[in-house]
Amino acid sequence: MPSPFPGMNPYLENPALWPEVHTRLIVAIADALGPHLHPKYRVAVEQRVYQMINDITALVGNADLVVSRNLNTEKQQSNIAVASPPATPVTVTVPIPEEVREAYLEVREVGTGEVVTVTEVLSPKNKRSGEGRNAYESKRQQILGSSSHLVEIDLLRRGQPMPILNNNIQTSYRILVSRSNQRPRADLYPFELQHPIPSFPLPLRRKDTEPIVDLQVLLHGVYDRAGLDLAINYTREPVPPLSEVDAAWANELLQQQGLREVM
């Protein structure tokens, strides 16, 4: 069954589904671009790797207490009174380091290996404070200070959008196309839940034909191939929840398609 939404499907933002959607969408964009860029360019799927502990950088230090075995006193152990059993312990959860791998795309010039365009699809960790956002913002600044173009795709309502100077645009979703030769100016494609996802040109070298990325078609293709309709219960509200206006619109849309009962 195709996605019931004309644009972004808010149910795909659920943390239980988004990692799969993110991975499949990255690969779908790479596969769609490849034939248009060959043979001058190739699209490489890269990974950014960092460690997190509940969104806090892990610190490794010395132990406060070391319990060791003294072989010279083993013979004296029989003269030591045995302590009473301790109180019943409480089961707790301790933070452990989590290795995070985030995929992104690099369009490289075949002759030189130079990175011409970086395409990022934001993850929830990129949009909330902590190591994930720090790692991404650091990479973002490196790209914006380089000769590489940047395409930044934000299909997540929750979290703090990436900074844009002197801009008060409030929108649920956005696509940023930053051409290295036009900075600090960039093209922003803002859109809401009720709108189709806008297509955009992939920036390349001057005088090269720039392919149009139809993100709407690619995302719907991911939805179909992954069978995501089997993983979504449209009788429930999406996570994160919608605004009152969007929730009413989505309810009517899903009722019209027989995915919810008409009340």
Residue 68 included in any domain: no
Looking at residue 212, its pLDDT comes to 98
Comparing 128 with 79, the larger pLDDT belongs to 128
Asked if residue 127 lies in contact with residue 133, where contact means CB atoms within 8 angstroms, the answer is yes
For residue 193, what are the domain limits? 10-55+98-256
User: Across-strand partners of 109?
Assistant: 41
Q: Is residue 73 part of a domain?
A: no
In a domain, 155, yes or no: yes
Find all residues with CB under 8 Å of 157, minimum gap 6, and list them: 10, 13, 172, 173, 240
| Mean local confidence (pLDDT), 95-99 | 76
**Is 114 within the bounds of a domain?**
yes
Instruction: Output the CA torsion 112→41→219→8 (10° steps).
Output: 60
Q: Is residue 86 part of a domain?
A: no
Q: Taking Cα atoms as reference points, which of 239, 174, 241, 231 lies closest to residue 3?
A: 231
Q: What is the pLDDT of residues 131-165, one digit of tens each?
A: 889 989 999 999 999 999 999 999 999 999 999 98
Length of the chain: 263
Over the stretch 207-257, which tens digit does the pLDDT of each residue have?
999 999 999 999 999 999 999 999 999 999 999 999 999 999 999 999 999
**Residue 219, CA atoms < 13 Å, CB-side half-sphere:** 26
User: Domain tally for the chain?
Assistant: 1
Residue 198 belongs to a domain = yes
**What is the band of 166 on the pLDDT scale with cuts at 50, 70, 90?**
confident
The chain-wide mean pLDDT, for the chain, equals 88
pLDDT one-digit tens code per residue, 49-58: 877 765 443 3
Sheet holding 173-178, edge to edge: 41-52, 98-109, 115-121, 149-154, 173-178, 187-191
Distance CA 138, CA 132 (A): 10
Q: Is residue 107 part of a domain?
A: yes
In a domain, 37, yes or no: yes
Residues 6+ apart with CB under 8 A from 250: 5, 10, 193, 238, 242
What contacts 39, CB < 8 A, 6 or more positions away? Answer: 110
